[in-house]
Amino acid sequence: MFLNSLAARLRCSTGALGVVLMMTAPNSMAANTEVYPSKPITIIVPSAAGNVVDAVARLVGGELTKVWKQPVIVENKPGAGTTIGTRFVAKAPKDGYTVLLTYTAHVQNPLLYADIGYDPIKDFEAVSEVTLSSTILAVSPEFEAKSLPALVTLVKANPGKYAYGSYGVGSTGHILGELLKGEAKLDMEHIAYKGGAPLATDLVAGHVKFGLIAVGTALPLLQAGKLIPVAIAGNKRSAILPDVPTFLEMGYQGFEPDAWMGLLFPAGVPKDRVDALSREVARIVKEPAMAKRLNDLNVEPVGNTPEEFAKVLKDDYAKWTEVIQKIGLKAQ
């Protein structure tokens, strides 16, 4: 009788254990069987609404919404040189429903700011490089030097007289301006503007004679003859401004990394979800209608694989580390 009772208790315990195990199965099992996406996706943009990064996020998000029949919401989380929004995504759930659309600052900021709270490589899964852009050195039409050699000669002959503008402290424009100072041995101050638009306004008005500005911001003014480009960053000439020589062509090293925008998940998102978003984004940005809309924003569509974008991130982090350490720049 005792044995029969013991066997009954064991059967009961085994059944209860099975129920507990089923109830506590890892969430990843559920995630693997869930159709993705099955709920809204949020794209975090770590800068203010209204700029080109925000515009690209909304274009891509709108197309994803149509294809996946799930809302794709764009949420702006600006501040601290993109680190606030980036940190938010680094700590987001690893389920594929929160994604960061960021830009080159992602691999620059850890070198400029202390204790940002994340690693730009280890804490993220590369999804896809979405677009490429460029930074140019442009001058006011009234400025007497209208080529890079002429500008360097003039500034050298007048130490301390001229200042260059950039679209913010720690921006690519600021980094490249300090690099030019060092490479050409120029004595000039830096004026940091709160974005490309106010910099463009002052360049056109001649309040600042030259500056480093994003092509996307400057192109309408360049086309109207209100700004004159003298050099462009990148390892080759831009398809948007094919007549503008690169810094490299004129003998200046370190200006080669292109400015990019790309999508990143927090590290740990399942590979099948990373691949699903990457494939769809790559397809979307290469569609002729979307490519034209991106070109209208003065950016070039890319759309590559997670592995290809991961290599861009690592390579650019190494390149910007070398440049920023060389010029000794720290953002305050």
Distances (CA, A) of 149 to 138, 152, 155, 180, 231: 13, 5, 10, 12, 10
pLDDT of res. 332: 61
Last residue of a domain, one of 206, 222, 250: 250
Last residue of a domain, one of 250, 281, 311: 250
152 and 233 in a single domain? The answer is yes
Pairing of strands 259-266, 98-103: antiparallel
Q: Radius of gyration (Cα) for the chain, nearest Å?
A: 25
**CA 327 – CA 321 distance, rounded (Å):** 10
96 and 121 in a single domain? The answer is yes
The CATH code of the domain that includes 154 is 3.40.190.10
171 and 37 in a single domain? The answer is no
pLDDT of res. 27: 47
Domain that holds residue 58: 32-132+258-327
The CATH code of the domain that includes 97 is 3.40.190.150
71 and 147 in a single domain? The answer is no
85 and 143 in a single domain? The answer is no
What's the length of the chain?
332
263 and 308 in a single domain? The answer is yes
Does residue 27 belong to any structural domain of this protein? no
Q: What are phi and psi of 167, to 5 degrees?
A: -95, 25
Number of independent structural domains in the chain = 2
Question: SS3 of 318, please?
Answer: helix
Contact, 106 vs 82, CB < 8 A? yes
179 and 77 in a single domain? The answer is no
Does residue 287 belong to any structural domain of this protein? yes
183 and 41 in a single domain? The answer is no
Kindly report the pTM of this predicted structure.
0.82
Pairing of strands 135-139, 228-232: antiparallel
pLDDT per residue of the chain (332 residues) written in tens, 0 to 9? 443 444 444 454 444 444 444 444 444 444 456 799 999 999 999 988 888 899 999 999 999 999 999 999 999 999 888 999 999 999 999 999 999 999 999 999 999 998 899 999 999 999 999 999 889 999 999 999 999 999 999 999 999 999 999 998 889 999 999 999 999 999 999 999 988 889 999 999 999 999 999 988 898 999 999 999 999 999 888 888 999 999 999 999 999 888 899 999 999 999 999 999 999 999 999 999 999 999 888 889 999 999 999 999 999 999 999 999 999 998 76
Does residue 284 belong to any structural domain of this protein? yes
